[in-house]
Amino acid sequence: MEREALLQAVEKELPRSRFEHTLRVAETAVRLADRFGADKEKADLAGILHDYCKYWPDERMRDWIIRHHLPSDLLDYNKELWHAPVGAEAVRECLGVTDPEVLDAIRYHTTGRPNMTRLEQVVFLADYIEPGRRFPGVDEVRAVAESDLDRAVLMALDNTIRFLIDRGQKVYPLTLLARNDVLERVSGKNSS
């Protein structure tokens, strides 16, 4: 499917404000990809598709998790996480996107994971720092993202974990593992 057709398919699934967010994520992902050496075309594609099924009803997403044998522990965590792994399956099945790197960037854009690829980091961070985002700490992450991808991703993960803890919510284990993995890389850079 061509970019324009994908944009139209995504636009049909999202309210206007979320579609505008999607466009900003794609634009931010391309800039980050250019800055940090990831594939710009794949960053754009993953940015466009990352929230494809964010507004699907919970029961529909629950069905996809079960039917597509996605990690069943997702059902024990905040529903906000579901749209990423479900989205990867949905864009593959509904839109014909088969690039595993793009699908993984969509799949892990909310949780992160250990050993994130450069593309996965770019999309994760673009979703966090796109210009429409307004919340405590985002400007600091944006500033760091000008020069250090790993450190910016670490800051975003730390902020997300703190946010969940402050609200008495569970933290998805993959997010903790992603944070520890990036922390080791950042610590390794600092000790060199």
Write out pLDDT tens, residues 84-137: 999 999 999 999 999 999 999 999 999 999 999 999 999 999 999 999 999 999
DSSP for the chain, please give it: --HHHHHHHHHHHS-HHHHHHHHHHHHHHHHHHHHHT--HHHHHHHHHHTTTTTTS-HHHHHHHHHHTT--GGGGGS-GGGTHHHHHHHHHHHHH----HHHHHHHHTTTT--TT--HHHHHHHHHHHH-TT--STTHHHHHHHHTT-HHHHHHHHHHHHHHHHHHTT----HHHHHHHHHHHHHHHHHHH-
Question: What gap in Å lies between CA 182 and CA 115, rounded to an integer?
Answer: 8
Question: What gap in Å lies between CA 179 and CA 112, rounded to an integer?
Answer: 8
The one-character DSSP state at 135 is S
Question: What gap in Å lies between CA 192 and CA 190, rounded to an integer?
Answer: 6
Domain ranges within the chain, ordered by starting residue: 3-191
CATH topology for 3-191?
Hypothetical protein af1432 (1.10.3210)
| Statement: the pTM of the whole predicted model exceeds 0.85 | yes
Per-residue pLDDT, 32: 98
Q: How many CB atoms lie within 10 A of CB 106?
A: 31
Predicted confidence (pLDDT) per residue in 42-66, tens digit: 999 999 999 999 999 999 999 999 9
What token pair was written down for 81? 């996480």
Instruction: Identify the band that residue 1 occupies on the pLDDT scale cut at 50, 70 and 90.
Output: confident
Per-residue pLDDT, 192: 60
Question: What gap in Å lies between CA 136 and CA 35, rounded to an integer?
Answer: 25
